[in-house]
């Protein structure tokens, strides 16, 4: 339907006048119907209502330009709009449509990421020290919450990152919505920064919030005091830092892939291939040739190595210093951000 | 605030991509109201639009849009204009009302105000009852209307519409043209409309700019340009060649195709001269009427004259014979005829 079709003028009910049925008056279908089935008694004066000159004036729709004299808010409000658009889209309509499957998966991962929270609560409630020693807060469990390969880094977090970054920038190329951003006073930096932050915040909700809940569940259920908190808080902070590093790395690689694509599938699958593929490759080489050096090309291995070093768990990458992994992560992120910035700079307003 | 006479002004505006010169010393003055931006593919229209949006840096020269410097005040320019892109720029999974609201938020509008204005803008472009439908379910005309609503949400002083009637059927196209015209006439806003459809430009715009190979080929009021090339068309029966010779002998400019002739209407008594010539040579004039070339005719004529051999518009304007066909009168900034 065209915009104009709905706006056709609707004529008002027309005025009527009585017309005598003279002998020579034409017999219309309406007159016959009224005579046969009319609701009156049949004593009327044989007149019928016929329209006089139809009125064409008066219509429901009138195109009227309305002015607006409001003030436009500054840069921070525009950036907040981008952030809000992406974040609120996960929870409600009217913002970025994330798709039901993605939202369901996020819910599943959120619940699954709370497994250690639940088990800590259970161990505290039933007072089972054995269960608590397996699930309670410790260096290994904090590390596992963020960097455990199975299931979190094999099934949860990379898949979440892949689903989130899949269309965030590529859809702007695909649908041409980049023009909507860049024909407004939005800078390329703000555009990328807000998209990056929104994707990172959704991951943060799943990783960092559940990590914090896990830590507080331990305090609540086990009645931990200040001494325990002071003792374990650096460990918790180190885990938070590892999680931030993981979120940043997955997001930057993912968005770089999204910026070179026009679809959702390629960025998502390529991110999974990079994270899981390089991990598997490094694992195979390590087992076959007893050389661990290849883990430096694996984002997950580098994150795990740095995480082990700063959280203080037993290192599993012991041939090289963890600073190599940190340098490798810096290089990976640098490259990803370079690709991202270059590609976003080339996004057009007039055509893609 | 003193209102500037021109909404867009450029001086020697040049933009090069390496050795390729996309805009070559462009000197433009676009007045308030509706202006058509014309030119064949590769003429530099897109580069010009990006330049005045402040999205790309100029290589040389300067310019202002609404009094703001295109080199340093791009953000402010984009806050005060509404841009309607040629291509799809809408998320098909979003409802139109939220898409338009979001476009307002991206300008810095408060979400509540943006929603309120989105309702008004969609009502204005004729999508009032369809605003809660997803854009993916819209027809091309409705998508174009939504893009226009996105551009109008903050009531900009200047609307840049890039091919606004692209791909529309006649009804939707008419509606779009009426809406743009209404925006100019009742909304008192300015429109810069890039289009290949001369008829649309003619209906909406008072002024035009014609770019060719990055240079300004012609500029001025459409009315003046058309008046400049006004002719009288006659259909002759018998003695057409004699009549043609007689009219040429009287100093009239005659173009002939069979029995149809077009005579330049340069003087008040042209009609009388034609009639007298016809009487003298015994030719019958079966039909006589004022012939006003459409903008499309003029555009084709200009393009034909510019051709690919002409390197610049100066080459064209150097020839008085050809200049008559392409440029606005001298007082409008055109070359001398």
| DSSP conformation letters of A47-62 | EEEEE-SPP----S--
Q: Which of B83, B91, B102 sits opposite A175 (nearest CB)?
A: B91
**pLDDT value for B210:** 87
pLDDT at A182 exceeding the cut of 90: yes
pLDDT at B328 exceeding the cut of 60: no
Q: Considering only A290-304, B39-53, B167-181, B292-306, which range has the smallest mean pLDDT?
A: B292-306
Query: Is the C-alpha dihedral spanning A105, A110, A113, A117 positive or negative?
Result: negative
Does residue B86 sit at the A interface (CB-CB below 8 Å)?
yes
Residues of chain B found within 8 Å of residue A93, distances taken between Cβ atoms: 95, 98
Q: Higher confidence at residue A322 or residue A11? A: A322
pLDDT digits (tens, 9 = 90+) for A238-283: 999 999 999 999 999 999 999 999 999 999 999 999 999 999 999 9
Does residue B108 sit at the A interface (CB-CB below 8 Å)?
yes
Give percent of chain A above pLDDT 90: 72
Nearest CA in chain B to A95: B98
Please give the ipTM for the structure prediction.
0.81
pLDDT at A215 exceeding the cut of 50: yes
Residues of chain B found within 8 Å of residue A70, distances taken between Cβ atoms: 109-110, 113, 154
Q: Which of B106, B141, B145 sits opposite A78 (nearest CB)?
A: B106
Does residue A127 sit at the B interface (CB-CB below 8 Å)?
no
Nearest CA in chain B to A81: B105
Give percent of chain B above pLDDT 90: 51
The third-level CATH classification (topology) of the domain covering B3-225 is: Rossmann fold (3.40.50)
**pLDDT value for A117:** 96
Within 13 Å and on the Cβ side, how many CA atoms surround A8?
7
A3–B126 C-beta distance less than 8 A: yes
A72–B154 C-beta distance less than 8 A: yes
**pLDDT value for A3:** 53
pLDDT at B211 exceeding the cut of 80: yes
A4–B171 C-beta distance less than 8 A: yes
Task: Collapse the DSSP code of A188 into the 3-class scheme (helix H, G, I; strand E, B; otherwise coil) and give the result.
Answer: helix
Distance CA A272, CA A295 (A): 16
Closest approach of chain B CAs to the CA of A247, in angstroms?
A: 26
pLDDT at A25 exceeding the cut of 70: no
Q: Which of B46, B89, B189 sits opposite A180 (nearest CB)?
A: B89
Q: Considering only A116-125, A165-174, B264-273, B311-320, which range has the smallest mean pLDDT?
A: B311-320
Q: What is the band of B327 on the pLDDT scale with cuts at 50, 70, 90?
A: very low
Closest approach of chain A CAs to the CA of B179, in angstroms?
A: 8
Q: What is the band of B119 on the pLDDT scale with cuts at 50, 70, 90?
A: very high
**pLDDT value for B122:** 96
Q: Which of B75, B95, B175 sits opposite A3 (nearest CB)?
A: B175
Segments of chain B assigned to CATH 3.30.70.100: 230-291
**pLDDT value for B217:** 83
**pLDDT value for A101:** 94
Distance CA A295, CA A285 (A): 9
Q: What is the band of B324 on the pLDDT scale with cuts at 50, 70, 90?
A: very low
A6–B171 C-beta distance less than 8 A: no
Q: What is the band of B227 on the pLDDT scale with cuts at 50, 70, 90?
A: low
**Closest C-alpha to B116, from B107, B104, B106, B108:** B104
Distance CA A133, CA A126 (A): 13
Interface of B with A in 39-68 (CB under 8 A): 46, 49-50, 53, 55
pLDDT digits (tens, 9 = 90+) for A98-147: 999 999 999 999 999 999 999 999 998 898 889 999 999 999 999 999 99
Residues of chain B found within 8 Å of residue A94, distances taken between Cβ atoms: 95, 98, 101
**pLDDT value for B276:** 93
**pLDDT value for A50:** 55
Residues of chain B found within 8 Å of residue A187, distances taken between Cβ atoms: 75
Residues of chain B found within 8 Å of residue A189, distances taken between Cβ atoms: none
Distance CA B152, CA B144 (A): 12
Averaged pLDDT score across all residues of chain B: 85
pLDDT at B29 exceeding the cut of 60: yes
Closest approach of chain B CAs to the CA of A186, in angstroms?
A: 7
Q: What distances in angstroms separate CA B327 from CA B1, B33, B214, B221, B333, one per listed residue? A: 34, 21, 17, 10, 8
In the structure encoding, which two tokens stand for residue B8, read together? Answer: 């867009």
**pLDDT value for B311:** 37
Does residue A76 sit at the B interface (CB-CB below 8 Å)?
no
Q: What is the band of B314 on the pLDDT scale with cuts at 50, 70, 90?
A: very low
Q: Which of A65, A179, A184 sits opposite B107 (nearest CB)?
A: A184
B53–A349 C-beta distance less than 8 A: yes
Backbone region of residue B146 per phi and psi (left: phi > 0; alpha: psi in -120 to 50; beta: other values): alpha
Residues of chain A found within 8 Å of residue B94, distances taken between Cβ atoms: 96-97
Distance CA B162, CA A348 (A): 14
pLDDT at A313 exceeding the cut of 90: yes
Q: Higher confidence at residue A21 or residue B21? A: B21
pTM recorded for the entire structure: 0.81
**pLDDT value for A209:** 97
Interface of A with B in 250-309 (CB under 8 A): none
Closest approach of chain B CAs to the CA of A53, in angstroms?
A: 28
Closest approach of chain B CAs to the CA of A245, in angstroms?
A: 30
pLDDT at A47 exceeding the cut of 60: no
**pLDDT value for A38:** 56
Nearest CA in chain A to B97: A94
Q: Which of B76, B141, B162 sits opposite A350 (nearest CB)?
A: B162
Residues of chain A found within 8 Å of residue B172, distances taken between Cβ atoms: 2-4
Q: Which of B78, B89, B127 sits opposite A3 (nearest CB)?
A: B127
Q: What is the band of B199 on the pLDDT scale with cuts at 50, 70, 90?
A: confident
Closest approach of chain A CAs to the CA of B290, in angstroms?
A: 35
CATH architecture of B230-291: 2-Layer Sandwich (3.30)
Q: What is the band of B221 on the pLDDT scale with cuts at 50, 70, 90?
A: confident
Averaged pLDDT score across all residues of chain A: 87
B227-244: average pLDDT: 83
Q: What is the band of B319 on the pLDDT scale with cuts at 50, 70, 90?
A: very low
**pLDDT value for A348:** 78
Q: Which of A68, A183, A186 sits opposite B85 (nearest CB)?
A: A183
Does residue A2 sit at the B interface (CB-CB below 8 Å)?
yes
pLDDT digits (tens, 9 = 90+) for B79-114: 999 999 988 899 999 999 999 999 999 999 999 999
Q: What distances in angstroms separate CA A247 from CA A12, A199, A243, A320, B178, one per listed residue? A: 63, 9, 6, 24, 51
In the structure encoding, which two tokens stand for residue A300, read together? Answer: 């997950």
Q: Helical H runs in chain A? A: 29-37, 75-88, 100-113, 115-126, 129-135, 139-147, 157-165, 170-175, 178-182, 188-222, 226-259, 265-272, 278-289, 299-311, 322-345
pLDDT at A14 exceeding the cut of 50: no
């Amino acid at each position: 339907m065209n915009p104009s079709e709905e706006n056709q003028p609707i004529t008002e009910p027309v005025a009527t006048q009585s017309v005598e049925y003279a002998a020579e008056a034409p017999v219309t279908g309406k007159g016959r119907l009224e005579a046969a089935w009319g609701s009156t008694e049949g004593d009327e004066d044989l007149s019928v209502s016929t329209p006089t000159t139809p009125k064409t004036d008066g219509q429901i729709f009138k195109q009227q330009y309305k002015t607006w004299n409001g003030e436009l808010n500054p840069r921070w409000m525009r950036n907040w709009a981008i952030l809000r658009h992406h974040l609120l889209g996960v929870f409600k309509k009217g913002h970025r449509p994330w798709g039901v499957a993605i939202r369901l998966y996020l819910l599943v991962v959120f619940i699954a990421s709370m497994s250690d929270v639940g088990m800590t609560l259970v161990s505290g409630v039933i007072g089972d020290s054995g269960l608590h020693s397996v699930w309670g807060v410790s260096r290994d469990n904090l590390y596992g919450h963020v960097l455990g390969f199975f299931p979190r880094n094999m099934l949860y977090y990379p898949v979440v990152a892949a689903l989130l970054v899949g269309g965030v920038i590529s859809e702007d190329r695909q649908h041409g919505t980049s023009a909507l951003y860049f024909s407004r006073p939005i800078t390329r930096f703000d555009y990328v920064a807000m998209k990056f932050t929104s994707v990172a915040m959704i991951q943060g909700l799943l990783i960092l919030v559940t990590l914090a809940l896990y830590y507080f569940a331990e305090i609540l259920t086990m009645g931990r005091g200040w001494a325990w908190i002071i003792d374990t808080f650096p460990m918790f902070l180190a885990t938070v830092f590892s999680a931030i590093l993981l979120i940043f790395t997955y997001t930057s690689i993912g968005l770089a892939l999204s910026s070179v694509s026009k679809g959702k599938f390629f960025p998502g699958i390529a991110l999974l291939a990079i994270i899981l593929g390089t991990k598997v490759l490094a694992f195979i080489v390590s087992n076959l040739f007893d050389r661990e050096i290849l883990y430096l090309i694996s984002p997950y291995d580098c994150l795990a190595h740095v995480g082990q070093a700063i959280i203080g768990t037993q290192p599993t990458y012991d041939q090289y210093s963890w600073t190599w992994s940190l340098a490798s992560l810096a290089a990976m992120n640098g490259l990803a951000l370079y690709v991202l910035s270059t590609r976003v700079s080339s996004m057009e307003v007039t055509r893609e | 605030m003193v209102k500037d006479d021109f909404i867009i002004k450029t001086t020697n505006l040049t933009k090069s991509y390496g050795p390729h010169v996309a805009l070559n010393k462009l000197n433009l003055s676009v007045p308030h109201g509706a202006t058509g931006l014309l030119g064949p593919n590769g003429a530099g229209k897109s580069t010009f639009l990006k330049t005045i949006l402040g999205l790309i840096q100029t290589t040389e020269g300067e310019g202002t849009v609404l009094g703001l410097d295109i080199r340093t005040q791009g953000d402010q320019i984009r806050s005060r204009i509404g841009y309607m892109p040629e291509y799809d720029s809408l998320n098909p999974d979003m409802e139109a009302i939220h898409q338009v609201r979001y476009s307002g938020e991206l300008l810095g509008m408060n979400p509540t105000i943006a929603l309120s204005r989105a309702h008004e803008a969609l009502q204005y472009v004729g999508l009032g009852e369809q605003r809660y439908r997803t854009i993916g379910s819209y027809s091309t005309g409705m998508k174009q209307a939504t893009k226009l609503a996105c551009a109008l949400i903050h009531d900009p002083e200047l609307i840049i519409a890039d091919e606004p009637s692209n791909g529309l059927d006649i009804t939707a196209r008419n509606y779009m043209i009426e809406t743009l015209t209404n925006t100019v006439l009742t909304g008192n806003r300015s429109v810069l409309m890039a289009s290949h459809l001369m008829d649309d430009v003619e209906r909406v715009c008072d002024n035009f700019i014609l770019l060719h190979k990055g240079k300004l080929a012609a500029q001025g009021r459409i009315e003046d340009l058309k008046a400049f090339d006004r002719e009288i068309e006659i259909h002759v029966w018998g003695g057409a060649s004699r009549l043609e010779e007689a009219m040429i002998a009287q100093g009239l400019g005659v173009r002939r195709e069979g029995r149809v002739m077009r005579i330049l209407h340069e003087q008040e008594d042209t009609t009388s001269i034609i009639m007298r010539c016809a009487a003298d040579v015994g030719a019958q004039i079966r039909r006589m009427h004022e012939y006003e070339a459409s903008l499309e005719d003029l555009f084709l004529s200009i393009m034909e004259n510019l051709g690919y051999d002409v390197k610049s518009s100066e080459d064209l304007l150097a020839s008085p014979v050809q200049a008559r066909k392409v440029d606005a009168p001298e007082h409008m900034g055109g070359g001398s005829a």
